[in-house]
Copies of this chain bind each other. A is one copy, B any other.
Amino acid sequence: MDIRIQKTFEALFALEDVREIFRQSLPNVTSPEEEHSIKEGINKVRKILDDIENCTGTPQVRKIADNINIRSREEMYINIQPIQAAGRLTSEARKALIAYGDGYSVCDACSKPFRLDKIRSPPIGPFHEQLASFLNMDVARVVPGARRGFQAVASTIVNKNDSVIVSALAHYTEFLAVEAAGGIVKEIPVNEHNIVTADLTAEKIEAVKRETGKLPVLVIIDHFDYQYANEHDVKDIAKVAHQYDIPFLYNGAYTVGIMPVDGKDIGADFVVGSGHKSMASPAPSGVLATTNEWAPKIFRTTQMVGDVTKRKFGVKEVEMLGCTLMGSTLIGMMASFPTVRERVHNWEEEVKKSNYLIDGLLAIEGSRVLSEYPRKHTLSKIDTSGNFDIVAHGHKRKGFFLSDELSSKGIVGEFAGATRMWKLNTYGLSWEKVHYMVDTFQEVAEKYKIQVHRTDHFDGNK
């Protein structure tokens, strides 16, 4: 690790040790020993700061809790890992983790009716309202991951052997949520461009009806799928679903938090988003939003009564299991939210960068893009069987030669060893980094005698 980055972590850690002294001391009283430890701690931080300033020193802390490496991927490298890009924390979220790490940290001011989304300090209640408004839906709840949103909806709507329509590019967590509820997934085939359309959806609904004698009970579609990040026609699909009176779940794991999402305009009955995938939030986090029509069903409160005690917990929501996302995970999500809310308006620029990179890769003789092109998303699947994979065949490191070349230039996150079909994500990278990446990929190509059509990537019209 670069020594300055290493030392930045060490300074943070040394300050946590100082903080621990305050935690152990009596209120407003410190003993001479504690004062001594604080002084020592501060001096330690000062020395580390000298090292940062002068690029000096050697690593003193290699592990957390003796067996966990310090993770410096985001500081050291350009990270193009397909699912990590938009979950990278803002600095405010990192500060929130520092201040709210303790387990039940958000519960200090919890009072009647004792439910997470009712807490006003920290402003968790208002955050829930802002989330609903951000998605243009009526009601929102935070959940421990998008999958827990699918689960809540499926568990409410899907009964044993019910059919649920998903796409042939559906994420596996949709499969699992339906399976857990006892239902059966039915996939809509994609068209020749790997796109799910409204017509294909209508055909599938009809087919399920013929086959099972019953209409499907739910349609779940990923706006952009996880395989190609192709855009699917969610608005028209929602219309089709509604023509059959089937509710529509919009899976926004790859949209909510990076591009504008208007649930009402789409016609979504449910909007699910992922905090750690697309909202610059710690894991596991996510959002489930719905309409006033569906909220009483999905967020129904418990009806169970203790047969002996007659206890009721009426305000607690069954599918949420009461409170959902406590502590630092939620506060991290909240701390990133002002940034997230704004950044969705930069989506066009993000897509431009994505296309610039793809064009730069296409300029390398033999590259293909497997995702729809021009790109409408920052996640893309590319095929380098015709160039880097050929090099790999003759290289003693096989496919790892590409990872080696890239990481030596500070680029990581491609699937290590993969040189045929692989995914990358440019979300949130500066133009400077995107330029650097194109240059690097092309330099690697040239190093291995692959032809590069250098002008191609400037016009975006290949």
Q: How close is A217's CB to chain B, nearest CB, in angstroms?
A: 16
Interface residue A397 (Cβ < 8 Å from any Cβ of B): no
Name the interface size band of chain A: 35 or more
Expressed in whole angstroms, the Cα–Cα distance for A109 and B279 within the complex equals 22
- Partner among B186, B283, B330 whose Cβ is within 8 Å of the Cβ of A327: B283
* Nearest CB in chain B to that of A121: its residue: B69
Are the C-beta atoms of A19 and B26 separated by less than 8 Å? no
Segment 1-60 of A: residues with Cβ below 8 Å from B: 2, 4-5, 8-9, 11-13, 15-20, 22-24, 26-28, 38-39, 42, 45-46, 49, 52-53
Write the chain B residue with the least CB distance to A408. B27
B436 engages A304 (CB within 8 Å): no
How many Å lie between the Cα of A49 and that of B38 in the bound state? 11
Hey, which bits of chain A sit against chain B, CB under 8 A?
2, 4-5, 8-9, 11-13, 15-20, 22-24, 26-28, 38-39, 42, 45-46, 49, 52-53, 64-78, 81, 83-84, 86-89, 91-108, 111, 121-123, 144-145, 147-148, 150-151, 155, 168, 170, 172-173, 175-180, 184-189, 275-277, 280-285, 302-304, 306-309, 311, 313, 316, 318-319, 321-322, 324-332, 334-339, 409-411, 416, 430, 432-433, 436
Would you give 18 A-B contacts (Cβ < 8 Å), ordered by A? A23-B88, A26-B432, A38-B52, A67-B123, A68-B123, A68-B331, A71-B102, A83-B107, A88-B102, A94-B98, A103-B283, A103-B285, A148-B321, A150-B321, A172-B302, A176-B316, A186-B307, A284-B284
Q: A12-B98, A19-B91, A65-B337 are in contact. List 5 more A-B contacts (CB 8 A).
A: A12-B95, A64-B96, A65-B96, A67-B123, A176-B313
